[in-house]
Structure 1
Amino acid sequence: MKTIVICSGGMDSVSLAYMVAEQHELTRLVSFDYGQRHRKELDFAALAAKRLGVPHDIIDMRGIGASLTGSALTDDIDVPDGHYAEETMKVTVVPNRNAIMLSVAFGVAAANGDDAVATAVHGGDHFIYPDCRPAFTEAFNTMQQAALDGYAEVKLYTPFVHRSKADIAVEGAKVNTPFAETWSCYKGGEDHCGRCGTCVERREAFHLAGLTDPTIYEDPDFWRNATGVTATEETI
Structure 2
Amino acid sequence: MSRSKGVKKAICIMSGGMDSTLCATLAIKQGYEVVGLHFDYDQRTMSREKRAFNEVCDFLNIKNRISLNVNFIAQIGANALTDFSLNVPKDGLKDEVPITYVPFRNGIFISIAAALAEKEGANALFIGVVEDDSSGYPDCKSDFIKAIENAVNLGTKDTTKIAIKMPLVGLSKAQIVKNSIENGSPLQLTWSCYESEEKACGLCDSCRLRLKGFKEAGAVDLIEYKN
TM-score (norm 1): 0.86
CA contact (8 A) 1:145 1:153 kept: yes
Aligned residue pairs: how many?
217
| Identical aligned residues as a percent | 31
Quick check: 89-98 or 72-81, which moved more? 89-98
1:73 and 2:74 correspond: no
The Cα offsets for residues 85-136 of structure 1, whole Å up to 9 and x where unpaired, read as 354x610011111100000001101100111010000124665211101110
Secondary structure, aligned partner of 1:67: helix
> Which residue is 2:32 aligned to?
25
**Residue correspondence of structure 1 range 165-204 to structure 2 within 5 A:** 165-204=173-212
How many Å separate the matches in 1 of 2:54 and 2:73?
Answer: 21
Secondary structure, aligned partner of 2:128: coil
Quick check: 142-151 or 124-133, which moved more? 124-133
Deviation at 1:27, TM superposition (A): 2.0
1:143 and 2:156 correspond: no
Q: Which of 4, 11, 24 matches 1:4? A: 11
Code of the residue aligned with 2:200 in structure 1: it is: H
CA contact (8 A) 1:165 1:205 kept: yes
CA contact (8 A) 2:43 2:82 kept: yes
How many Å separate the matches in 1 of 2:226 and 2:151?
Answer: 43
CA contact (8 A) 1:126 1:133 kept: no
How many Å separate the matches in 2 of 1:112 and 1:51?
Answer: 23
1:106 and 2:95 correspond: no
1:158 and 2:147 correspond: no
How many Å separate the matches in 2 of 1:92 and 1:124?
Answer: 17
Deviation at 1:82, TM superposition (A): 3.5
Code of the residue aligned with 2:197 in structure 1: it is: G
Cα RMSD between the aligned structures? 1.6
Q: Which of 26, 39, 49 matches 1:41? A: 49
Code of the residue aligned with 2:23 in structure 1: it is: L
> Which residue is 1:119 aligned to?
127
> Which residue is 1:228 aligned to?
none
> Which residue is 1:82 aligned to?
91
CA contact (8 A) 1:28 1:57 kept: yes
Code of the residue aligned with 2:34 in structure 1: it is: T
Compared CA separation, residues 93 and 110, structure 1 to 2 (3 A): same
